[in-house]
């Protein structure tokens, strides 16, 4: 089992996982672009109960069902959490070992930045990915 650990830029927020991810995906939607401050959000999706988080976490609801988490000291984006589905997406950039991130698809590519060329041959979905019993 791969153990995902990570945290914020200043080190005040830390997290650790205790299970394998549900998936590892790249989201190109505008909300993710804005919250990450980049062309996409690479994230590792886990069950909420399999992630422990410590430190000064601030949150913001970017939609009715999606809560974004960040360090209240340095502002680094740490996660997106959908409590109703019991899932949390840890930002790949916050991983201690970001090379552990192995994406399995791209979604919301209809919002992809035009200068970004996706050449990894992974599946691409114009909007949300197909549901597998949980909300990505």
Structure confidence at residue 134 as a pLDDT band (50, 70, 90): very low
Residues 19 and 8: their CA atoms lie apart, in Å, by 21
Q: Is residue 135 part of a domain?
A: no
CA-CA distance, 99 to 42, in Å (whole number)? 12
Residue 49 has pLDDT above 90, yes or no: yes
What's this model's pTM, rounded to 2 decimal places? 0.89
- In a domain, residue 128? The reply is no
62: in domain: yes
Task: Classify residue 98: in a domain, yes or no.
Answer: yes
Task: Yes or no: say if 73 and 10 are a contact pair by the CB < 8 Å rule.
Answer: yes
| Structural domain contains residue 54 | yes
Q: How far apart are CA 91 and CA 68, in angstroms?
A: 10
CA torsion angle for 58, 24, 111, 69 (degrees, to 10)?
0
Question: Per residue in 62-99, pLDDT tens?
Answer: 888 899 999 999 999 999 999 999 999 999 999 999 99
**C-alpha span between 97 and 17 (Å, rounded):** 13
**What is residue 132's predicted lDDT score, i.e. its pLDDT?**
54
The structural domain count of the chain equals 1
pLDDT tens sequence across 103-113: 999 999 999 99
Residue 65: other Cβ atoms inside 10 A: 12
- Give the pLDDT score at 129: 83
Q: Is residue 100 situated within a structural domain?
A: yes
């Amino acid at each position: 089992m791969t153990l995902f650990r990570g945290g914020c830029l200043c080190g005040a927020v830390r997290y650790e996982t205790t299970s394998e991810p549900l998936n590892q995906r790249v989201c190109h939607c505008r909300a993710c672009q804005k919250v990450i401050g980049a062309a996409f959000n690479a994230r590792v999706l886990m069950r909420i109960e399999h992630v422990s988080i410590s430190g000064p976490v601030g949150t913001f609801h970017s939609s009715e069902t999606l809560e974004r988490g960040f360090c209240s000291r340095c502002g680094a984006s740490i996660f997106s959490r959908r409590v109703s589905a019991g899932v949390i997406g840890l930002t790949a950039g916050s991983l201690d070992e970001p090379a552990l991130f192995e994406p399995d698809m791209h979604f919301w590519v209809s919002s992809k930045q035009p200068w970004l060329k996706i050449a990894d041959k992974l599946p691409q979905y114009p909007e949300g990915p197909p549901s597998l019993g949980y909300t990505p």
